[in-house]
Copies of this chain bind each other. A is one copy, B any other.
Amino acid sequence: MQLTEQATTLSSSSAPPSMSLRHVVESQQFTVPLLMELFDRARLMERIVARGGTLDYQNRILASLFYQPSTRTRFSFEAAMHRLGGRVLSTEHARAFSSEIESEQVEDSIRIIGSYSDVIVIRHHEEGGARRAAAVSPVPVINAGDGDGGQHPTQALLDLFTIYHERPIEGLSVAFIGELDRGRTVRSLAYLLAKFDRVKIYFVSPPEMQMKPDILQYLDRHNVKYELESSIDRVVGEVDVVYQTRIRPDRVSNVASRMRYAIDSSVLGKLKSNAMILHPLPRTVELDKTVDSDPRAFYFKQAANGLCVRMALLTMLLDR
């Protein structure tokens, strides 16, 4: 255990559920007690960062293995490791840089990089890439996004933390808006929300981009109420949280069509006064910049929360 005094107290006050966390591949892995431990640790990390402190992980190495580039997510993990006092190996775009190595070699890469590092953060262009990595890795693996229809569990953790910071998750109503079939952040957060009682989810998207059946079946099995919608107007006044996502131009090249699912000042007028607007960023036209100054806009706070949530998660994996 390498945390400070407060952290030691924190974790010794309860059984260590993090002992069961070896790799982070999908958000379903997280039980509610594990989430609560993570969020407690994340709050501690917030305080440590705020007072300019650091932790004692100076001999630990995080390897960032991004087969697809994502400067923000990568920086978030790497900053988290640095704020813990640790060290970083980094590749921005491993796929572009290893064309001669076929993709089935991810297992070999992980075995080798696992002998140089203490934790591996992987973003892979194929669904299941992180699971394959975890299956052979000698050190913990964190999925930082796999494929279009995969998951992005740490995004979901920071999303949930952002909400939890403001209100209880039990009884929450959430509208997911945008291109949901290829939305790995939405998929991961839906799994997490299903852990809590009396949650209600609205999936709002063009019909051809609706949430895939696997998630809906999961929600059914866990008795989570949800509705499929194609109109933002019918939903937006009902919910506590609007979770907006991009519709990529290659799917809907017509900007006007994408604008039907946009959040702008007219939508703001219909929102509850205490609603929260989230977005995993980056954004295009679906989230107007006029929203930025609205007190219900939480997306920059959400992105900033990536730091303390990932610090907390790294400590849970490295302290094992």
The interface of chain A, by Cβ under 8 A from chain B, is 52-54, 58-59, 61, 63, 65, 69, 71-72, 74-76, 78-79, 82-83, 87, 89-94, 97-98, 100-102, 105, 108-109, 111-113, 115-117, 248-249, 281-284, 300, 303-304, 306-307
Contact = CB atoms under 8 A, between A and B. Distances in A.
Contact of A105 (B59, B87, B113, B282): B282
Given A71-B113, A90-B90, A112-B303, 15 more contacts: A53-B59, A54-B59, A69-B98, A72-B112, A75-B117, A76-B116, A79-B89, A79-B116, A91-B92, A105-B283, A108-B283, A111-B303, A112-B304, A115-B303, A115-B307
Contact of A59 (B52, B71, B78): B52
Count copies of this chain in the complex.
3
Contacts of A112: 72, 281, 300, 303-304
A112 B284 CA distance: 16
Nearest to A93: B97
* A contacts with B: majority SS: mixed
Given A61-B79, A71-B94, A75-B63, A307 B116 contact: yes
A92 B97 contact: yes
Contact of A75 (B53, B72, B78, B113): B113
